[in-house]
A = this chain, B = another copy of it.
Amino acid sequence: MPPRTIEWTGELDGCAKLIDQTKLPRELTFLEIRTSHEMFEAIRRLSVRGAPAIGIAGAMGAVLAIRDFTGSPDELRSEFKIACDHLVSARPTAVNLAWGLDRMRRVARQASTDIEAIKQALLAEAKAIRDEDEAMCRAIGAHGESLIKDGCGVLTHCNAGSLATARFGTALAPVYVAHNNGRPFRVYADETRPLLQGSRLTAWELGQAGIDVTVLCDNMAASLMKSGRIDIVITGADRIAANGDVANKIGTYGVALWAAAHQIPMYVAAPSSTFDFDLEDGRAIPIEHRSEDEIRRGFGSLTAPADVACYCPAFDVTPAGLIRGFITDRGRIDRPSREKIAALLT
């Protein structure tokens, strides 16, 4: 297994310990985060990334903000609120960061009038958020591992792996479970331009676990499928509409079209919390566009004319009809429909 992405060492006098992902794939370095401000900086500079992992990091950062506090419970709650507001601003569009901090705020409101008890309750909640995420990933792995057959080729896109979660990941959880069960197979990792999460992170964490992994440029997967070396595609998801349309890292839709053209089943692995039943279908999902310099200066050097226009969406939407199945923590949904999704998850 790859090392734990983020954990809390010890009790209230401990610290958060996380893999510095800005150093990957060159070196494995752990950061020991001892203040809320250090956690803010770690989140902002992407030392920790991936929706679930950021949620955990925010919760632990909130604990760090008040663990040395002395004063009245009301003063603590006031201090805690300021810290949470600050932490959430590190990645304002990261839904899980706000979600994790909301859980922490609820605990702060409900806890007793004893300062120490409040602090202990907050630490327990942060640890619970982390443990629940790991359990969720394990459940996805258990529900998906039988899809990975002896000797098969698995294509994945971006990094929905251990590094994006407490551990195990979502798309990669079935891969880790199948590997632990002794099954031989090979993973192909799209490098995933522009930010190269596939070549930098997915290839690194699978290599750490001793899993056979091969990196390819995003435009090479079609010919790889045609050559017969891919038996299944598994990706993660950022948001899933009620009808099964999936928003995920840019490029996922293209992979799904290629998989369909080669009759290769495409699965999407995600926790049940990723399904948004307020969204009828994928048309309503807003697509964030990112800095054009991610394309123009992708490798630290100028790789395009400095003033050329670039098209740089962060996500795309894959229609439900291209998805053979969902792998969730509550079970699998094969050949998904609005009704099947609602039946399992609502």
Interface set of A (CB-CB < 8 Å, partner B)? 25-26, 157, 188, 190-194, 196, 199-200, 203-204, 207, 213-224, 226, 250-251, 253-255, 257-258, 261, 295-296, 298-313, 316-317
Contact = CB atoms under 8 A, between A and B. Distances in A.
A223 B250 contact: yes
A191 B303 contact: yes
Contacts of A25: 302-306, 308
Number of identical monomers bound together in the oligomeric complex: 2
A237 to B, nearest CB: 15
Contact of A311 (B26, B214, B222, B311): B214
Nearest to A158: B219
Contacts of A307: 207
B215 A193 contact: no
B304 A203 contact: yes
Given A193-B191, A223-B316, A215 B300 contact: no
B216 A311 contact: yes
Nearest to A308: B203
A214 B251 contact: no
Given A203-B305, A311-B188, A254 B223 contact: yes
A219 B250 CA distance: 7
Given A191-B303, A218-B218, A257-B261, A213 B250 contact: no
A95 to B, nearest CB: 21
A226 to B, nearest CB: 7
A102 B13 CA distance: 79
A254 B226 CA distance: 10
Contacts of A193: 191, 193, 217-219
A85 to B, nearest CB: 35
Contact of A222 (B220, B254, B304): B254
B217 A194 contact: yes
Contacts of A220: 250-251, 311-313, 316
A310 B218 contact: no
Contact of A257 (B214, B257, B316): B257
B253 A309 contact: no
Contacts of A215: 295-296, 304, 308-311
A300 B302 contact: no
B219 A192 contact: yes
B26 A302 contact: yes
A103 B303 CA distance: 36
A-B pairs with lowest CB-CB distance, top 9: A219-B251, A222-B254, A199-B304, A223-B316, A218-B219, A193-B217, A299-B299, A216-B311, A214-B309
A298 B196 CA distance: 10
Contact of A253 (B203, B222, B316): B222
A307 to B, nearest CB: 8
A109 B193 CA distance: 52
Contacts of A298: 196, 298-299
Contacts of A226: 253, 316
A196 to B, nearest CB: 5
9 contacts: A25-B302, A25-B305, A193-B193, A203-B304, A215-B295, A218-B218, A226-B253, A300-B300, A300-B301
